Every structure is written in C-alpha cells, then in structure tokens.
Structure 1
Amino acid sequence: MSDVEAEVAGNLAAVRARIAAAAAEAERDPDEVTLIAVGKVQPVERVEAALAAGQRVFGENRVQEAQGKWPALRARYPDVELHLIGPLQSNKTREAVALFDVIQTVDRPKLAAELAKEMARQGRRPDCYVQVNTGEEPQKAGVLPADADAFIETCRVEHGLPLVGLMCIPPADEDPTLHFALLRELAKRHGLTRLSMGMSGDYEDAVRLGATHVRVGTAIFGARHYE
C-alpha cells in the first residue's frame, strides 16, 4: 500500500467512525447515513486510493471535471454511484443526465424543465434533489426557502422529476444546525426522505439532525490545490 493509499484509507476510516458516533448520539443507525467522498480538484491518485479503500459513493462539483475523470474509473469500478453537487448550467443537462446517478442541485424552473426533457430523451432518470439556499445568500445557488414549497411541487407535478430529497450549504459564518433543522422540516413537509447536508467541518452536526447523505472532501483527501 502506498503512502497516499494509507493516508486516504485512514482518513476514510476516521470519518466513518465519527459518522457512526454522531449517529449513535442521535439514536440513529449509522447505515442510514451515506458518505459522499467529494473529489473536486483532487488528483486522480487520491480518488483511486478511496476506491481501493472501498468507497463507492462520490460527489463532483463540475460536469466537465467529472467527464474527464469518471468514465475511465467506472470502467474499473462499475458499482460507483456519482452525485453532482455543484451548480448545473442548463446547457450541460445532456452531459449531466448521461453521467451522474444523482443530481443534487436542481434550483430553478428552467433547469427543471431541461432536465425533464433530457431524461425523456435519454431514457435515464437520475434521482434529483432540490437545492435550498437556506441562508438566502445572493452569491449562492439554490431556491429561497420562501419559494421552496411551490418549486418542489413544480418539479414533481409539472415536470415529473424523480425528486427524492433536499440539499443545502449553510453560510460559513452561521450556526449550521439552524439551517439543517430548516431543511429537515421542509423535507418532512413534502414527504422527502433524503437530506444531503453537512461537509467536512460540520457533518457530525448534520448527522445528529437527520442527514442521510454527508458530502466530505478535505477530511478524506486533504487540502485542495487549485491551479
């Protein structure tokens, strides 16, 4: 085992142990929580180390980056589940529907309509989450909480999307638990069972508040190095 493989495997084990401990505190089954390893701008060597350690659920922020990385990896690991967790441009829906198993960032009517068309065209229906901008931050993607009820119904009734859950990214300078609780209540109101919330700095809080999916990057792979 190489140094990188040992490091990533150790990090994965530590994150999984912390998820299990947080679940136990909340009297939840740790198996109810899916760890999404976020490979954004990580070297392929580190992603391969996570695959070698048994990780099979991954998240990517950009369609283009995922296209350059995952077709070759999936040829060797066909059981990988790939989530799009970054903003999706309407003109990238064809590629997104073809590549991803889950699209977590549905956040506007035009995108919902384009996804519905593309799913019908390809005969492929990735699970969808609505991204909610719980902090109402102008620079951040996501439907505003006040508009979420109507948008969820539009996705389901008008577009027939396979909507399974909600996703949020709380403001960096606020208590994330308030945002996680808001998302949980919104999901409950609509009978949505999956909650994607919590990242490297706050995933334990998210698990305690009902997260079914946590998105962890740097705690597994180390710091990102942007070119």
Structure 2
Amino acid sequence: MTDESSAAITEGPSAGLDAVEREIVAACAQARRDRASVTLVAVSKTFGADAIVPIIAAGQRVFGENRVQEAKAKWPGLMSGYADLSVHLIGPLQSNKAKEAVALFDAIHSVDRPSVCQALAKEIKSQSRHPELFVQLNTGEEPQKAGVSPAEADGFIAACRETYGLAISGVMCIPPVDEAPAPHFALTAKIAARNGLKNLSMGMSADFALAIQFGATHVRVGSAIFGHRG
C-alpha cells in the first residue's frame, strides 16, 4: 500500500475505497491494461451493515465474504435495497453448505476438492443458478491451507469440467504470508493460461497492485477499504 492509501483509511471507509481505486487505476495504467479488466472485491467479512452501507453508497458493488452463514445473515437485507450488488464467497466451502452457497453467491472462489465439486454440481442443476467458479490453488503447498497443489491443478480442473460438468472460469491463490507474492502470482497465471482460464483471483490489501501486474482480474481488498478488523 502507498502512504496515500494508508492515510486515507483513517479518514473513513469511503476514503479508503477512493484510495484503493486510484491505486488500481495506476496499476492498470502501468500494466497497460483497461481498468475495466479488474474487478475489485471489497472484503466485508466480519463487518456489519453499518460499515458496508457507506461503501455501497460510494459506488462499490462487489463484495467478498469468508463464511456462508455470516453472509446469509447480512446480505439478503442489503441486497433488497440494491438490485445490482454481487457477493463472492472467498473463504472455504463445506460441501454441506453448497445449497446455501449456490443460492446466495454470484461467485465462489474456493472450489478445491471432489466433494465440493459434487455438491456444487447437484445444486447448480437443482437451482438452475450458475455462480462463477474459481479453483483455489495452494501455490505454497502449505499443509494448513486449503487449495489444490500446483502439481494436481491440471487434473483437478479437468475433473471439474469432465466429471462434474462445472464451468470453471478461473483460479484463485493466497500466497504464503512469509514469502514474496510475485512467484505465486506468476505460477497462478501460468496454470490458468495452460488450462484456458481467463480469470485470476489474486492480490489483497498489501499486494493487489503487484497482482494486477501479473494479470489479476479480481483483487480481494478488505483492510485497505474498511480498516483493520478488531
């Protein structure tokens, strides 16, 4: 984050959003990309409606949540007042929550195992609702973290398509906190390209500008917009 972005956070959530927007515009210009090619996902997990409404009022329309139950509790009410809101699940999905996830979310960034694929395929067919789907990669192969290992990514993406009939639109990664993110962004982009996937969900508050340089189409930014969680 730039000093400008950090300072803006203290002025209120809409100022933080403005600062993030300026940084996205600058990163796109540097990468010679159209600003419209990058979707800002404002990560609203743990924040209530009182914090979210000013961000909606400032023009933001795409939000990210980590948990199905939390999103279910707050977003239907918010959506009733704004027809054009889009909510993405960016946290892990349990297969027994697939029904609720398909009903609520417009995108799911955390497809990472066969049981989830099977549950999603069933609910997509049942509900005739088709959220955008991303395969989550574990580029750092961290045992405590969800996601498909890079070595298994091609086979898993193929299974999503051929075995479960899922329309995968992209891949998502969360680099290890103690490693430089650039190699993880590059690897994610490489896996997406060789599997014919156009969408890259990567980059958070500390590194979204860098992620844009590596082709990110969706950046997931929370603290730079809402401030730090308590």
TM bucket, shorter chain:
over 0.9
Q: Are 2:80 and 1:75 aligned? A: yes
> In 1, Cα distance between the equivalents of 2:63 and 2:193?
26
Counterpart of 2:64 in structure 1 is: 59
Counterpart of 2:226 in structure 1 is: 221
> In 2, Cα distance between the equivalents of 1:162 and 1:42?
31
Q: Are 2:33 and 1:28 aligned? A: yes
1:38-87 CA distances to partner (integer Å, 9 max, x unpaired)? 00101321111100101000000000000011000000011111100000
Which residues of structure 2 form unaligned runs of 5+? 1-8
1:7-46 CA distances to partner (integer Å, 9 max, x unpaired)? 1111111001001111111111121111000001013211
1:172-215 CA distances to partner (integer Å, 9 max, x unpaired)? 00010100000000000011000000000110100111000000
Among 19, 26, 38, the residue aligned to 1:14: 19
> In 1, Cα distance between the equivalents of 2:18 and 2:36?
14
Specify the SS of the correspondent of 1:179.
helix
1:106-165 CA distances to partner (integer Å, 9 max, x unpaired)? 000111011001111111111100000000000001011111000000001111112100
Among 148, 164, 167, the residue aligned to 1:159: 164
Q: Are 2:68 and 1:48 aligned? A: no
Counterpart of 1:195 in structure 2 is: 200
Question: Which amino acid in 2 is paired with 1:157?
Answer: E
> In 1, Cα distance between the equivalents of 2:167 and 2:62?
19
Specify the SS of the correspondent of 1:59.
strand
Among 133, 136, 139, the residue aligned to 2:141: 136
Work out whether residues 83 and 102 of structure 1, in 8 Å CA contact, stay in contact via their aligned partners in 2.
yes
Counterpart of 1:149 in structure 2 is: 154
Question: Which amino acid in 2 is paired with 1:221?
Answer: F
Give the aligned length. 221
> In 2, Cα distance between the equivalents of 1:77 and 1:95?
20
Work out whether residues 134 and 170 of structure 1, in 8 Å CA contact, stay in contact via their aligned partners in 2.
yes
Normalised by the size of structure 1, how large is the TM-score? Answer: 0.95
Instruction: After the TM superposition, list the runs of 4 or more consecutive aligned residues in structure 1 that deviate by more than 6 angstroms.
Output: none
Normalised by the size of structure 2, how large is the TM-score? Answer: 0.94
